Structure 1
Amino acid sequence: MDLNLPFSYTFIKKLDLGLTNNNYLIEMNDEVYIVRMPINDAIPSNRENEHAVLHAIKALDFIIEPIYYKNGIQISHYYPQLITFDDYLSPERIIESARLMKKLHESNRTVEHHFNPVAMIHTYLKHTHNHRLHISVYNDLFAQYASHQFTPVLCHNDWVAGNICFLDHKTYLIDFEYAGMNDPLFDVMSFITENDLSEGEKKLFLTQMVDDLSENNLQVLMMYRDLNNLLWYLWACMMLEHRKDKIYAEIKAIKYKQLTMEYKQPLSFL
């Protein structure tokens, strides 16, 4: 299979990985690499921002630095022993993920792009017509976010299990397509809403990440839970409409259930 890369390689196989890109294994100079290639369709993306983020964080010890990046095509060393969050069954996985998130937030790295979940929600609304929502229901949520003040730090903004990796007793973070300056509490609720966690695991992670569980902060965390659920529900609607893959239908159903059951409700695990 010809991947149209600007150098010689031997194609090995396509991998069943990723939700927004295609991934392949190739061999070059007796080394095996993984190639992440974007799918060229109408789905909005910000590859220039991802490149800027990768440049900003390249010296950090929890990054698997790509050897090549251009227009969303990313090539990195392939590590067959690497496992992701869902497959890492150690009871320490929550603590290690919290340490990883803190490392990113405390890295003092900055980029120009600011991740605005409400702006992203309205972008996705323009690219899908098959959602089941009356968006005006969420005007109070949007107003709450607009009035919320915070000190932005570099955030990943997409803490799904496949982006949290474990290798040789170290923890790594990958795929920075949505990274940007944001409120670190958004990342906290991204991890909690995007992973299949027990109530105890959710509470453990939150207490590792947030010292101040005042009523004001709990309201902010609820806001970010609801924004995460709404954002990724609409993302799944958009992806299903454009790419027709059943995985997006599954994500859509999960996020719709979370959104409708949890909206404006207290955090159940506290």
Structure 2
Amino acid sequence: MRSRCIGSAVDERKLIQLIPELRGRSLTVSPLGGGLTNRNYRIDAEGKSYVLRVAGKDTVLLGIDRAREVACARAAAELGVGPEVVAYLPEHEALIRRFACGRALTVEEMQQPAVLSRVVEALRRYHNGPPGAGTFSPFATVRKYHALARTRQVTFPDSVGPALERLAAIDQELQADDSPCPCHNDLLAGNFIDDGRAIRIIDWEYGGMGNRFFDLGNLATNNDFADPHERTLLALYFGEVRPDDLRRLHLMRLVSDMREAMWGFLQAAISTLEVDYLAYGRKHLERFMNATSRN
């Protein structure tokens, strides 16, 4: 889910001088594209590379807890599945991490069994790691996004009411399922960096203790998995494809689309980035409605 220059309110070079590891060094700063929420910069300093991430406007309304994000990112680094966090400046909501060498995966690559096997290995290692900071519920997140967007006079499609009712039914169906584990909760292909040897996961803004099936469903829907890809995903993760696991995966794919829809509608009200968030929200809402109508 997730540059444009930061603007006069924040000078990225002044922020860099607050970081002991970078202060006074010869460096270059280049904007990184692709962000839908924050401003991101690559810093090259005397043979080493870093990423500076400065939070976008009002991201706390998206349920993003920056201290929790940093804790999750550090946990991922300790487990070998994320780049090292170099510094965090809470008063500026700025994070500096090592630049993850390699390239971001594409949707097409994520569907390849050999690549997916390595992705699953990294994700499962994080899921099986020690309990982490904070919690994440996609159901509570959708309800919060919807309420906040309403208070900001966002115009919703007529289908939003029935969609929320269908989401509540899915919530009831999944209530007794898995105990929480550390999760990422925003598994876009671009959040996986492949250096040819290892997969590293970046952008831990929505990280927290959650349901592993939301991560798996989110991964599947963000990367356009068809039935064979879903079965490969479950076989790689669990060692077998059980009907009940497939059921939970399918339900969490639906939930993922609903989270993306409400995220888009709320971003339309709060973001200053030049992105058509309403179109993004409508696309995911329509996909949720179409899929739940078939079930």
Superposition TM-score, scaled by structure 1 size: 0.85
* Percent of aligned positions that are identical: 19
Whether contact under 8 Å (1:130, 1:241) holds in the other structure is no
Residue 192 of structure 1 pairs with residue 220 of structure 2: yes
Q: Residues 93 and 30 of structure 1: is their aligned pair in 2 closer, same or farther, counting only changes over 3 Å?
A: closer
Instruction: Please list the CA deviations of residues 176-202 of structure 1 after superposition, one character each: whole Å capped at 9, or x if unmatched.
Output: 111111221111111001113444323
**Distance in structure 2 (CA, Å) of the matches to 1:76 and 1:88:** 27
**Distance in structure 2 (CA, Å) of the matches to 1:202 and 1:136:** 26
Mark the runs of 5 or more structure 1 residues left unpaired by the alignment.
Answer: none
Following superposition of structure 1 onto structure 2, how do residues 239-254 of structure 1 map, counting pairs within 5 Å? 239-243=267-271, 245-246=274-275, 248-254=277-283
Residue matched to 1:183? 211
Residue matched to 1:131? 156
Whether contact under 8 Å (1:14, 1:23) holds in the other structure is yes
Residue matched to 2:69? 50
Runs (4 or more) in structure 1 with deviation over 6 Å come to none
Residue matched to 1:238? 266
**Distance in structure 2 (CA, Å) of the matches to 1:201 and 1:212:** 12
Residue matched to 1:143? 172
- What amino acid does structure 1 have at the position aligned with 2:135? H
- What amino acid does structure 2 have at the position aligned with 1:19? L
Whether contact under 8 Å (1:94, 1:201) holds in the other structure is no
- What amino acid does structure 1 have at the position aligned with 2:56? I
Secondary structure of residue in 1 paired with 2:285? helix
**Distance in structure 2 (CA, Å) of the matches to 1:113 and 1:38:** 19
Q: Which range is displaced more, 166-175 or 35-44?
A: 35-44
- What amino acid does structure 2 have at the position aligned with 1:157? N
Residue matched to 1:98? 120
**Distance in structure 1 (CA, Å) of the matches to 2:277 and 2:108:** 24
Q: Residues 140 and 234 of structure 1: is their aligned pair in 2 closer, same or farther, counting only changes over 3 Å?
A: same
- What amino acid does structure 2 have at the position aligned with 1:261? N
**Distance in structure 2 (CA, Å) of the matches to 1:54 and 1:197:** 26
Mark the runs of 5 or more structure 2 residues left unpaired by the alignment.
Answer: 6-10
Secondary structure of residue in 2 paired with 1:175? coil
Secondary structure of residue in 2 paired with 1:58? helix
Residue 220 of structure 1 pairs with residue 245 of structure 2: no
| Structure (1/2) with the larger helix percentage | 2
**Distance in structure 1 (CA, Å) of the matches to 2:201 and 2:83:** 8
Superposition TM-score, scaled by structure 2 size: 0.78
Residue matched to 2:8? none
Instruction: Please list the CA deviations of residues 212-246 of structure 1 after superposition, one character each: whole Å capped at 9, or x if unmatched.
Output: 523x4343223312211111110011112322633
Residue matched to 2:102? 82
Q: Which range is displaced more, 84-93 or 175-184?
A: 84-93
Aligned-pair distance for 1:8? 4.1
**Distance in structure 2 (CA, Å) of the matches to 1:67 and 1:103:** 22
